[in-house]
Structure 1
Amino acid sequence: MVAITNTTSLTFLKEAIDSTLTEAENRLEAFSENHSLHEELTYIADSFQQLRGICQVVELPAAALMSEEMGLAARELRDKVSDARIQALGNAIVLLTRYFDYVQLKNRTLPALLIQGLNDLRQANGKALIQESHFFSADLSVARTPPAKVSELKRSEMPALARRLRHMYQVGLLGILRNQSAKPNLKLMARALARLDKAAGPCGMSRFLWVAQGVLTAMFSDDMAITSARKALLSQYDRQLKGLVYGGEQAFDAEPPLLLVKESLYVVSLSQQQSGVVDEIKTAFSLKNSITDEELQRELALMTGASGSVIRSVASAMREEIAELKHSLDMASQGVADTNYQQVGESLQRLGSTLSMIGKDEDAAAIKQRGAEVGKWSADQSVEGEAFHALVDDLLTIENVAANLERSLAPEDDVHRAASNSSISLYQLDEARMTVVGECRAGLALAKRSVSSFMDNNWDAMHLSNLPGTFASIAGGLMFLELERAKSVTESCHKYIVKQLIEGTSNPTREDMETLADALTGVDYYLESMEEQKPIGDGVLEVAEESMKALGYPVNKVA
């Protein structure tokens, strides 16, 4: 018998496969209505066992594994019946049907497209999840290239440093697990591993720290999807760090699990980056992948029919309509053109209907009433009258409703404080805040560059002479933003730089400078998360406070 190896040959078997899946779906539906029909499950299990054989012949390993899992799930349903298991099997049938359609139309297999479906089915049946790299292979015996540089830090000092850097990593990990802003959290985690890798030097854990940095760098730079499998991978990294904290000096000579390395290499292989640590890892392990993570997520969306945020779309549409209304009213107030108030009234009615759809019934009723009134205005309506100003106030109220659907600024009490005053445009307030945040971040970037120049030029304090004024500007900005905790951290950094680096008589160690950079970076990441309107939380500031405490300049706690 000649093996069918070309996926286009699936066409000859597609009709039979579709018939099998449709019949299995119908029989599963019959069983869901009458759990005594065990013969239906037997038919389903046998059908998927046959389908598994077909998938092996046409070399579709992911579909073969899915068929096998579905057959096992059907048999297990006879003993452990539950609606969740039935639904999981039904979802798997739909997904596998779409996968065969995808393979036939695209002429590419992409086994990774079925990983999540496989795990959903296994989870429903109480089985361990398979790795995202299940269908990926790499030579795991490759050594780190180039090797780690020798560290200046004593091995006896490593567990204490590992404890602080693990806390830094955990702050970022917690943000990832809570689905907070990904980029600042990933950068924080990557910095923690980079610092630990630099301090550890050549050791058994060196290759793991190197590869893990590559994963975090790839996820950050490529804006990769944060899937449940990748959250689990990042959590496994934390368990390795825990071993370094509590295992003593010898823990650094241990070798990490090879499966952890394999899963990490798979993520790196999906990256588009061609430089830095990602390129080093790709070159060392000869990693090649026919698809990037961006393409993979796009193909997944095509196959599963994923859609974007409805709420965000609604808010965006409201914002555009409000902008057009504001423009019309602005033209009317300047007497530049005659305004068609009937169209304005119709727009207000549409906005009212949108508000009703999202549950803002009180605002909806008010704006619809206003729309009915405005629709009766004549072209020479007075723009100085009370009615016109009331319309402008109503528009501002709707604008703030739309803004509150989109925005999520930190800290939360600022949102509540601004939202309590409907006379302030939240969009304009956000713009003002972001301008100040940007200026503060620019000041922190200048501070870090100055400290770096100070180190590179034999501890020449001249490179720090501009920092007192810079920190005064940063403090002023943080005071305006009412971020007292972040302000306290920068004040401690300022005090350390003046007392120890500018006025001090002895040179600091490079480890001290790295610790100072940790504190400045923590505040920077906190502000970066505000720019993205996805707050990272105060945990990153706690890490910054620990860094300053380690330098002997503890932060004054904010009441």
Structure 2
Amino acid sequence: MADLPSAEASNQFASSLHVVRREIEHALDHAAVQLDNYSSDGSEETIRAFLEEIRQLRGTFKMLDFRAGERLCEELTETIRRSLKSGVNEGLLEASTQAVVYLKRYIEFVITGQDVAPSLLIPTINLVRRERAEKGLPEGYFFLNNLRPKLDQPSASANRTVAYRRVRQMLQLGLLGLIRGSGKRGPLQVLVRAVERLEQAARGTHGWVFWEVVSGALDALQQEDFEVTSQRISLVGQLDRQVRKLQASEGGAFNEQPSDALLKEFLYLVALAQPESDRLKVLHSSFQLTDHVRERELRVTRNDLSGPDQSALVSFARALQDEIEALKDIIDRSQRNPELAAEDSELIERLERISDTLIMVDMNPTAELADGVIRQIRSGQTDIEGLADDIIRIEQDVQAIVQSNSLKGAQVIDPVTLKEANIAVVSESVTALVMVKRAVASYVDSGDKLHVKNVGKSLRDVSGAVIFLGKADLRSMLLELEEFVEHQVMDSRVAPSAQDMDAFADAVTAVEYYLDTYDSPASGGSDALRMAEESMVQLRAGHVAN
């Protein structure tokens, strides 16, 4: 199966996988058991039984053309075979365990339609290879694509003189910044400037396609979805060798055919990118990459890969559901026959077990619901119907973890997501206020109310957005500005005074400044709010006098 398949190819692979799914799961489960047994007894017979399961899986994956799964099984077989006499060490045992777990999860993702690519298994393959002191496979190893498409090449530059020594210094500076992990924006921009010079110098030569693809790969790495991993830094580091060859040949190396392996790795990054820039759009079209999965989707799958598999979630949910069913039976019996009603202590004991289990897997909101029921029972204010409703809600949350393939319910918002949402709200609000200022400036210059027709709506939208930031006073201010526009500008036959419009513009500018520096408390945000409030006082005084 080629890396980054089309939707049709993915569906075909999933259909084929369905046919042998039980056999694959059975083999993986048996392999996991053999690893557990080996960690206890260290028996050579046990590890040979594990190898037999892996060989069986390799044959199945070969039949399915699942190249990444087949390669992982080959690496495991070869590495463990070499270790039979000396014994499997802890590192190899951990790598083997990860291989079994990740293969099982990967199969689940394919069957459930989650976005995958064989490259997701590259880190695990390299973990196994490391036990034999073998060099790791590159990220795009399984990526298959035409590397010789027809591209409209720009004409050669009139002046192709390049200060190669300076370009190498820029490359090394950018690489050093990435290696130090001090953020990717600055280092990548330095790398982009260096590669742009090489791309321009390469126009009209055999090497142009390579440097154009490298430029596209750097565009890709600048996108928010991309992580600059050590493997990707190492890939960019290989450009230094290319520039050294160009320097030694005074540009003559541009006419040499670039390395296909290196071109493929940079093209893989291009394939993962969202086609946001003109260059990426052209490359996606020319290399026929439009149907490929993107880094945005793979990043989610990559995180899920290390989570519990579906069988573990099902087992956990069933255990909890059994406890909940027993609790529901007790409540039902109490409703039907009050003489046989359960003691409060029995209800509390079962609910505490449920709550403790939920806390262990970080389902805190559901655990709090169970704790609330316990408090009601202890207070002697038990409402049987209300109790039954709460139990049903707990049961629904437990069932949802199987459907969502995640232990954390949808109601839990992690801090990173919350931070990202804050950034998005602030960014959109600042953009809206910039448009408001432009519209008001156009109105002041021309007196045409059409310019401010949508200003009230924009202010109202921003006022709604700042609720998310917990700024009720700021929202009131924005609503008051909206009211001024609607009543004193749009509905009034008399234009507001210049002083009023100045006060309005000052208030909007101050709010914009506050939002733009929202994440930098030391940037004078509180002073901006104070200025906005002073402008509002002038605005109120002005239009009341009018």
TM-score, normalised to structure 2's length?
0.51
The within-5 A match list for 1:116-155 is: 116-142=123-149, 144-154=151-161
Q: Which residue of 2 aligns with 1:49?
A: 55
Give 1:28's match in structure 2, choosing from 19, 31, 35. Answer: 35
The within-5 A match list for 1:64-79 is: 64-79=70-85
Q: Is the 8 A contact 2:225 2:299 kept in 1?
A: no
Give 2:293's match in structure 1, choosing from 271, 291, 294. Answer: 291
Measured at CA, do residues 249 and 17 of structure 1 come closer, stay the same or move farther in structure 2, by a change above 3 Å?
closer
- In the TM superposition, what whole-angstrom CA distance separates every residue of 1:245-301 from its partner, at most 9, and x where no partner exists? 234442333222011111111110111124322222223222234311111111111
- In the TM superposition, what whole-angstrom CA distance separates every residue of 1:122-145 from its partner, at most 9, and x where no partner exists? 223322222222222222223542
Displacement of 1:227 in angstroms is: 2.5
Rounded to whole Å, the distance in 1 between the matches of 2:60 and 2:73 is 10
Displacement of 1:222 in angstroms is: 4.7
The within-5 A match list for 1:447-458 is: none
Q: Which residue of 1 aligns with 2:25?
A: 18
Given residue 222 of structure 2, which amino acid in structure 1 is its aligned partner?
A: F
Give 2:221's match in structure 1, choosing from 213, 219, 222. Answer: 219
Displacement of 1:110 in angstroms is: 2.8
Q: Which residue of 1 aligns with 2:465?
A: none
Q: Which residue of 2 aligns with 1:501?
A: none
Rounded to whole Å, the distance in 2 between the matches of 1:246 and 1:65 is 39
Rounded to whole Å, the distance in 1 between the matches of 2:159 and 2:250 is 18
Over 4 Å off, 4+ runs: none
Given residue 97 of structure 1, which amino acid in structure 2 is its aligned partner?
A: K
Give 1:94's match in structure 2, choosing from 81, 96, 101. Answer: 101
Rounded to whole Å, the distance in 1 between the matches of 2:240 and 2:41 is 47
Gapped regions of structure 1 (runs ≥ 5): 307-405, 407-530, 534-559
Aligned to 2:238, the other structure's residue is in SS state helix
Measured at CA, do residues 33 and 242 of structure 1 come closer, stay the same or move farther in structure 2, by a change above 3 Å?
farther
Q: Is the 8 A contact 1:218 1:268 kept in 2?
A: yes
* 2:66 is aligned with 1:60: yes
Q: Which residue of 1 aligns with 2:198?
A: 196
Rounded to whole Å, the distance in 1 between the matches of 2:71 and 2:24 is 15
Given residue 272 of structure 2, which amino acid in structure 1 is its aligned partner?
A: L
Rounded to whole Å, the distance in 1 between the matches of 2:260 and 2:85 is 36
- In the TM superposition, what whole-angstrom CA distance separates every residue of 1:39-68 from its partner, at most 9, and x where no partner exists? 222222221111112223334332222222
Given residue 206 of structure 1, which amino acid in structure 2 is its aligned partner?
A: W
* 2:166 is aligned with 1:164: yes
Displacement of 1:114 in angstroms is: 1.5
Aligned residues: percent identity?
28
Q: Is the 8 A contact 1:5 1:57 kept in 2?
A: no
Q: Which has the larger radius of gyration?
A: 2
Q: Which residue of 1 aligns with 2:181?
A: 179
Rounded to whole Å, the distance in 2 between the matches of 1:34 and 1:246 is 60
Q: Is the 8 A contact 2:114 2:301 kept in 1?
A: no
Q: Is the 8 A contact 2:217 2:270 kept in 1?
A: yes
Q: Which residue of 2 aligns with 1:332?
A: none
Q: Which residue of 1 aligns with 2:45?
A: 39
Measured at CA, do residues 162 and 93 of structure 1 come closer, stay the same or move farther in structure 2, by a change above 3 Å?
same
Measured at CA, do residues 108 and 61 of structure 1 come closer, stay the same or move farther in structure 2, by a change above 3 Å?
farther
Rounded to whole Å, the distance in 2 between the matches of 1:144 and 1:13 is 42
Displacement of 1:6 in angstroms is: 4.8
Q: Is the 8 A contact 1:208 1:256 kept in 2?
A: yes
The root-mean-square deviation of aligned C-alpha atoms, in Å, is 2.9
Displacement of 1:163 in angstroms is: 1.0
Q: Is the 8 A contact 1:148 1:206 kept in 2?
A: no
* 2:139 is aligned with 1:112: no
Aligned to 1:221, the other structure's residue is in SS state coil
TM-score, normalised to structure 1's length?
0.50
- In the TM superposition, what whole-angstrom CA distance separates every residue of 1:133-159 from its partner, at most 9, and x where no partner exists? 2222222223542335323144xxx3x
Q: Is the 8 A contact 1:88 1:121 kept in 2?
A: yes
Displacement of 1:8 in angstroms is: 4.0
Displacement of 1:214 in angstroms is: 0.8
Aligned to 2:222, the other structure's residue is in SS state helix
Q: Is the 8 A contact 2:116 2:293 kept in 1?
A: no
The within-5 A match list for 1:99-498 is: 99-106=106-113, 110-142=117-149, 144-154=151-161, 158=162, 161-305=163-307
Aligned to 2:198, the other structure's residue is in SS state helix
Q: How many residues align?
A: 302
Given residue 214 of structure 1, which amino acid in structure 2 is its aligned partner?
A: G
Rounded to whole Å, the distance in 1 between the matches of 2:276 and 2:291 is 13
Q: Is the 8 A contact 2:156 2:201 kept in 1?
A: no
Given residue 185 of structure 2, which amino acid in structure 1 is its aligned partner?
A: K
Measured at CA, do residues 196 and 219 of structure 1 come closer, stay the same or move farther in structure 2, by a change above 3 Å?
same
Measured at CA, do residues 148 and 177 of structure 1 come closer, stay the same or move farther in structure 2, by a change above 3 Å?
farther
